[in-house]
Every structure is written in C-alpha cells, then in structure tokens.
Structure 1
Amino acid sequence: MHNLYKLALFLWLFASQSSNAQNGIVVFQSDFGLKDGAVSAMKGVAMGVSPALKLFDLTHDIPAYNIWEAAYRLHQTVPYYPKGTVFVSVCDPGVGTERHSVVLLTKSGHYIVTPDNGTLTLVAEHLGIGQVRQIDEAINRLRNSNQSYTFHGRDVYAYTAARLASHTIRFEQVGPKLPTEVVRLPYQKAETANGMLKGTIPVLDIQYGNIWSNIPKSMIDQLDIKPGAMVRVQIFQNDQSLYDKSVTFVNTFGEAPVGDDVAYINSLLNFSIAINQGNFSEKYKVFSGPDWRIVLSKASK
C-alpha cells in the first residue's frame, strides 16, 4: 500500500511538472511587415533548431514601434492556443538597450518570448504571471551572432523560443529567474462611475475601422442596456472630445440601416461601435491606444 501511495504521488508530481510542457508550437508576432526577409529569417532560425516545430503567425502588421498594440494582440490571441505554446513577440524600439529580454510563463501555461518593454501588460493582467526569466544570451543566442545588435528577434527571441518549444532546453535553462513583475503600460481600465461606464479603446477592428473598447458585456448588462436601446457614446483623446452621439445598441449589423452608427458587443464580448458597412475610425478620426478613452451611458430615444 505504501508503494502504491508513492507511485501515485510520483505520477501526480510528474503530471504537475508536465502541465506546462512545451508542445512544439511557436507563434510569431512583430512589427516587421512582410516586405522583406525578416520574418522568414526568424522562422529559418527556428527550423534550424528543430524542423519538427510547428510555426504560425499571429500578425506582422503591428504598426511600427506600437508596443501597446503588440500587447493587445497577444491578449486577443494567446488564450486560444493550447498550454505549452511558445509565442515570440518583437515590437522593440529599444533594441540593443538595457531593457530585459525575457520569457514569461503565464499562469495559463503559455510562454511569451519578448523584450520586457510593456508588451506583456495585458497578458500579465489577464492570464497572470507564473514566472519570468531573463534570457541568458551566453547560452541562448544564435551562434556567431554576437556582432549583431539590432535583430534580437532573429538572434535571441526566435532562437530561444525554438529551443524551448522543441525541448532542447527546459524553462529553467532560459536564464535567471526574475521577480514576478513586468513593465506595464498605464491605461484606463473599465470601470463604473455614477451611472456611466468608462474604458479605453485598446485596438481597432482594423479591416473595417470599428472601434473596440475594453468595457465587458457584463458591465453593459449591469447598466441594463439591451438591444434596441439608445446608448450615449463619448470618445476622447486625452482630454479632447472627438465624438458625442446617441446610437442604437444592436445584436447584429443587419438590425440597422446601412450607414448608421451602431453599438454592439464584439467577438471578445466587449462593447464596440461601428458604422454599418462604413469605416468609423476613418470618418471620425478616432484611433486606439492608452491615450484614448470611451464613456458610455443610457440615453433616451
């Protein structure tokens, strides 16, 4: 009986240690675009570590130097991949400076290889920080790349991610353990105040120019805003008011005439506003980022 107990304990410990095991998937994100060979070079480095890896792209159309949008795209995507997936996020205007190169293990069991420059703001908040390790470049750097100072995405991040995803190294071999904190960008979190909902515009639904907020459906429900109701929407950049209208809250765009401004809940279950078959961002010159705020309240028809 004692031996059976020890065996059960061993199997439980093994399962616990393996729950965040790397699964051979690497997902790449950058602000590089696809006009040159930068993204392909990163993938080439990864395949050089292990041709058995499964490589995917999150996006390479992050606007140049826009760390906030890189943070949001990770938040939007990471939870939908299985535990053990390794993400590489390179939006790094400070490349070559003293900012840390890290691997974050989230409490959800995902790995993110990135500069610690604010890119981890939202995944740290929503998925939690399990551990953070600084990449030891003496071990985890592409051979013969020491003379290169401006392409850490290829020389450090893709290489480290591939070694981690392929089980060439364990997470503990990435480098020294850091405090369980990351650089965070300030922004307006969703909140309720005096019958109004306040939040930020973290990102656009870029293809259509729709405005996505960080105000969750649960807050809309608490304010008792139902489809067919009118919602007053105010949008500010810093303290400048750029939009103040009452619009209809709908379930689907088909419930409103073409060309009308409409409010709706997007695929991430957050409040959004759009023009039915139009481009809200382009028409009203409303964009996204931590300097943008949105305020909602119930309005009369």
Structure 2
Amino acid sequence: MGNYLVLQTDFGLGDGAVSAMYGVAHMVSDKIIIGDLTHEIPPYDIWAASYRLYQTVKYWPKETVFVSVVDPGVGSTRRSIVAKTNSGHYIITPDNGSLTHIAHYQGIEEIRSIDEVTSRLPHSEESHTFHGRDIYAYNGARLASGEISFEKLGNVVAASSLEILPLIEAKHNEHILEGSIDVLDIRFGSLWTNIPLAFMKEENIVHGDQLQVTIYHQGKKVYQNIMKFAKSFADVNIGEPLVYVNSLVNIGVAVNQDSFSKLYHIGTGTDWTIQLRKAPKIIFE
C-alpha cells in the first residue's frame, strides 16, 4: 500500500470530529500520510460526496485509501463497504449512494462488506453514531498501512446490490448538447455540467463561438442567454457570462469574477438540466 489516507466528510472543522479521525488513524500507524479531500460537504448531501470522489480520486497515486463519511443513516441497517476501483484506489464509505459517480464514470472492480461488529476501533462497541471514527477511519488506516488486506476486510458483495443515486446521461442530438448541472465550483459559483468537451468537438464548436445556453429546473426554463465559449475567464469582461472547459474536461458555465449560481439562483442535481447549441449569427446593419 502507498500509506496515503484521504478523508472526506460533512463534519466541518468546528469541533473535534475530524481531529478524532486523524488521531485514530495515527494510533493504527504513525507512518500514514493523511490528506483531506474536503470536510465541507453540505450536511447529509450524498450526491455532493459522490461527485467530489469522482472529481478527486484518480489524481491520487494508486492504492490510496479514501474514507468518505456523509452518513445520514449512521447506526441503521445500511452497510459499510470498501470498494476497489478500476483505477486501483480504495474507498471506504457507507453504502448509501456515495459511489454513484465513481461506479458510473470510472468503474469498480470489487466491493466488500465491512463487519461493523468485529472490524471497529477497540472498545467502541457502545457507540453507534460516530462510525466515521470507529469504523471508517480505523479500517481506512489499517488498509493504508498494510495492517490488513482488502480481501480480509470483508466478504465480497455483488456490484448489482450497490446503492446508486439516479443520474442523467449527457446527450448530443440534432446539434443540441444536453446534460445535468452536477455540482458547483463552490467558492466561485460556477456551474459544472456532465457535458463532455467531446460533444463540442463533434459540433465543431471552437473557442470564440457564441452559444445559446438554456437552463431548466424540473423541466421549466429558468434562464437563457447567448455567451462566448471562452478559453479562459480573461477572454470576457468582468461580470460577463461564459462557457468554458472545467478541470474534468467537461463544460462549465460561469460569470467572470462573480457567482453564476447566486446571480441567477441556479442549483445542482438531476432537477437542474442545461442545453447548449451554437447561437445563430446576428448581423447588424
């Protein structure tokens, strides 16, 4: 193993929860290198947890162990699982949909169920509300340090039994590119869609072209505008909207030096869809 352990939670940093996870991991092995994906997932937002794993996992070395704890069902009958991805990474998480994007876009090689009774922090049996510390960080550290193998963490479970959230597939049909607004570039309020750059290339759309952008909420049109397909934010004026390629090589929509999401009250998830097409040329006489 590579000794890398990466933590993601919706705990925030306002109390000692994340620090306790660090402490448990270091008690298992002081050789573990711990990183933080984020601890600012909105409370209970499994969709966001799933997307942030998809955004991040492949950029860490193979055999890195990720622990993702967004767990509104903690203490219930939902399973604790460890997955080995097709890219050679490991993810320990509740089986509540947190692996949706990884399973769909990158693929999972094998899943095992962790026994929450036997595979847990010693002397934590009476606690049922902090599995992030007692089960996930503990077993993540054991796996990352090589104390236990993936195969010994639990029994194999069928991939078909994995809890999956609904997704909307990006489509390219009759010169219209359509997809969902999956997540925000949170700090800057840009919209990240699941429309791949490949669709733009198929339409021979190049930087500098004008695009008609239409956004729908639950099928109702809530925004439409003509904007430039820009190579960078500096290609448009401050306050001007643009279409661009994000860091995952999908299409994003933004306002230069402002929050598109806040300005136009645009949210994320499968209720929010977007269409792009080349705008008709307008000739002024």
Q: Same fold (TM over 0.5)?
A: yes
> What is the aligned partner in structure 1 of residue 197 from structure 2?
217
> What is the aligned partner in structure 2 of residue 285 from structure 1?
265
Deviation at residue 193 of structure 1 after TM alignment: 1.9
Aligned with residue 19 of structure 2, among 37, 40, 43: 40
| Aligned partner of residue 287 in structure 1, secondary structure | coil
> What is the aligned partner in structure 2 of residue 154 from structure 1?
133
**Once the two structures are superposed, what CA deviation does each residue of 1:180-217 show, in whole Å capped at 9, x if it has no partner?**
23211112111112221111111101111111111111
Percent of residue pairs bearing the same amino acid type: 48
Aligned with residue 80 of structure 1, among 47, 53, 59: 59
Deviation at residue 251 of structure 1 after TM alignment: 0.6
Verify: 1:226 aligned to 2:211, yes or no: no
| Aligned partner of residue 177 in structure 2, secondary structure | strand
Distance 1:237 1:134 in 2: 37
Q: Which runs of 5 or more residues in structure 2 are unaligned?
A: none
Comparing 187-196 and 273-282, the one that deviates more: 187-196
Distance 2:27 2:199 in 1: 48
Verify: 1:261 aligned to 2:241, yes or no: yes
**Once the two structures are superposed, what CA deviation does each residue of 1:203-256 show, in whole Å capped at 9, x if it has no partner?**
101111111111111111111111111111111121222211111111111111
> What is the aligned partner in structure 2 of residue 246 from structure 1?
226
Q: Does the CA contact (< 8 Å) of 1:68 and 1:290 recur in 2? A: no
Distance 2:183 2:35 in 1: 22
Aligned with residue 139 of structure 1, among 118, 138, 141: 118
Distance 1:165 1:247 in 2: 46
Aligned with residue 108 of structure 1, among 79, 87, 90: 87
Distance 1:298 1:127 in 2: 30
> What is the aligned partner in structure 2 of residue 168 from structure 1?
147
Computing the radius of gyration from Cα coordinates, the structure with the larger value is 1
Q: Which runs of 5 or more residues in structure 1 are unaligned?
A: 1-21
* Stretches (4+) displaced over 3 A: none
Distance 1:138 1:128 in 2: 29
| Aligned partner of residue 184 in structure 1, secondary structure | coil
Q: Does the CA contact (< 8 Å) of 2:117 and 2:125 recur in 1? A: no
| Aligned partner of residue 202 in structure 1, secondary structure | strand
Letter in 2 for 1:171: F
Give the TM-score taking structure 2 as reference length: 0.96
Give the TM-score taking structure 1 as reference length: 0.91
